């Protein structure tokens, strides 16, 4: 077995993977007979590709208002403008919208007319990143599958805003101003099919309450979390990717075996205050522990199973760890040979 040890940073194997239904092709084509129901008007500020008549491109036009959207449009691109408000009037005829991109505008919470979004009955993807929102917009269409609200000024989540969003699979709230008080025990109630929750780069000091049970990807990087409650992950038994980089976790804040969860395949604890490697499941494949305060590697304690050769006679009994990152600690090479004996699938170690 050959194990590569790298003295410098590796390209991360998994970054921002979204396990959700594949995003539909932007240029879905309707039955030609259906197009006879629509006219082919195009707002003069925008571009309407003749070959893709259900898409409307109004991005990078310096627009301050949303133009009237033709009835045939499914995909609407309004990013990189100066739009401050979302009113009902431009959407009166746009009853087939599935995709709306309003990233990088100047939209405020007060600038969204009440009920305008919930009337878009077929909307699947809503992008409102890089705006001036102070709270999650409400009400939202029950059809939504992805809601992206990163890089706003959101500090408040209205009560019950997610209650009827059973189709939502991805919720991105990273880089906002959320405090612990904004995340109540019922905040995420109704998100029964949520698969990815991103609350990174906020101002959390505690692990959020009542994460939806089907969540597979939980991103909590760049907060100020110090403690993980005991048995926290038993409530989210499908969690597969867990990111807690850039927090304030110490050994005392991690209960024994809290990460020893068979569903977790990728665990990221970089840039914390750990002095030892926490126990983890034999199913774990990627472990990021760089830039902590770890001084040594005790393979006897670290190995999820016995190091004895006979215990690894089958793949099912063998630890699945393939990638281990330990750089930025106080560990001096060489690493113990036993680490290769325990983790026989290991392909890369960064020290």
DSSP string, 240-255: -EEE--SS--BGGGS-
166 pLDDT more than 60: yes
Q: In whole numbers, what is the pLDDT of the chain averaged over residues?
A: 89
Q: Which pLDDT score is estimated for 170?
A: 98
| pLDDT tens digits for range 77-131 | 999 999 999 999 999 999 999 999 999 999 999 999 999 999 999 999 999 999 9
Alpha-carbon distances of 173 from 112, 151, 153, 277, rounded to whole Å: 18, 8, 10, 30
pLDDT, tens only, 304-338: 876 554 454 556 678 999 999 999 999 988 888 88
Look at residue 22 in the predicted model and tell me its pLDDT. Answer: 40
pTM for this prediction: 0.88
For a pLDDT cut of 90, what percent of the chain falls above it?
A: 81
Instruction: Name the DSSP letter for residue 214.
Output: T
Residue 309 exposed, middle or buried by CB count within 10 Å (0-12, 13-18, 19+): exposed
Q: Could you give the CA distance from residue 223 to residue 205 in angstroms, rounded to a whole number?
A: 7
269 Cβ contact list (under 8 Å, min separation 6): 244, 245, 249, 278, 287, 288, 289, 292
Contact 56, 46 (CB under 8 A): yes
pLDDT for residue 33 is more than 50: no
- Eight-state DSSP code of residue 194: -
Band of pLDDT at residue 40, cut at 50, 70 and 90: confident
Where residue 342 falls among pLDDT bands split at 50, 70, 90?
very high
Q: What is the arithmetic mean of pLDDT over 260-274?
A: 98
What confidence category does residue 3 fall into, taking pLDDT thresholds of 50, 70 and 90?
low
Q: Are strands 348-350 and 99-101 parallel, antiparallel or unpaired?
A: unpaired
State the distance between the two ends of the chain, measured CA to CA, in whole angstroms.
19
pLDDT value, residue 35:
45
Count of Cβ atoms closer than 10 Å to residue 94 Cβ: 22
Residue 13 in this model has a pLDDT that exceeds 80: no
């Amino acid at each position: 077995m050959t194990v590569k040890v790298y003295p410098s940073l590796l390209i991360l194997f998994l970054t921002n993977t979204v396990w959700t239904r594949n995003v539909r092709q932007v240029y879905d084509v309707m039955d030609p007979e259906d197009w006879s129901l629509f006219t082919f008007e195009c707002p003069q500020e925008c571009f309407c590709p003749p070959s893709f008549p259900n898409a409307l491109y109004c991005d990078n036009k310096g627009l301050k208002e949303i133009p009237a959207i033709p009835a045939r449009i499914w995909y609407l691109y309004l990013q990189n403008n100066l739009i401050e408000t979302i009113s009902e009037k431009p959407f009166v005829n746009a009853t087939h919208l599935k995709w709306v991109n309003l990233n990088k505008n100047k939209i405020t919470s007060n600038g969204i007319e009440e009920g305008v979004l919930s009337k878009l009955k077929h909307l699947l993807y809503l992008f409102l990143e890089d705006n001036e929102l102070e709270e999650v917009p409400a009400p939202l269409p029950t059809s939504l599958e992805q809601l992206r609200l990163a890089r706003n000024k959101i500090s408040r989540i209205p009560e019950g805003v997610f209650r009827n969003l059973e189709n939502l699979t991805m919720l991105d709230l990273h880089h906002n101003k959320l405090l612990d008080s904004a995340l109540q025990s019922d905040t995420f109630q109704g998100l029964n099919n949520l698969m990815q929750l991103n609350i990174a780069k906020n101002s959390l000091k505690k692990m959020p309450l009542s994460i939806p049970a089907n969540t597979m990807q939980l991103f909590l990087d760049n907060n100020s979390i110090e403690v993980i409650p005991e048995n926290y992950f038993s409530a989210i038994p499908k969690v597969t990717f867990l990111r807690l980089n850039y927090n304030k976790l110490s050994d005392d804040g991690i209960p024994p075996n809290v990460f020893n969860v068979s569903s977790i395949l990728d665990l990221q604890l970089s840039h914390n205050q750990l002095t030892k490697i926490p126990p983890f499941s034999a199913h774990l494949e990627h472990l990021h522990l760089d830039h902590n305060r770890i001084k040594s590697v005790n393979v006897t304690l670290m190995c999820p199973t016995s190091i004895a050769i006979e215990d690894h006679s089958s793949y099912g009994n063998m630890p699945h760890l393939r990638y281990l990152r330990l750089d930025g600690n106080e560990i001096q090479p060489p690493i113990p040979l036993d680490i290769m004996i325990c983790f026989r699938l290991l392909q890369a170690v960064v020290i």
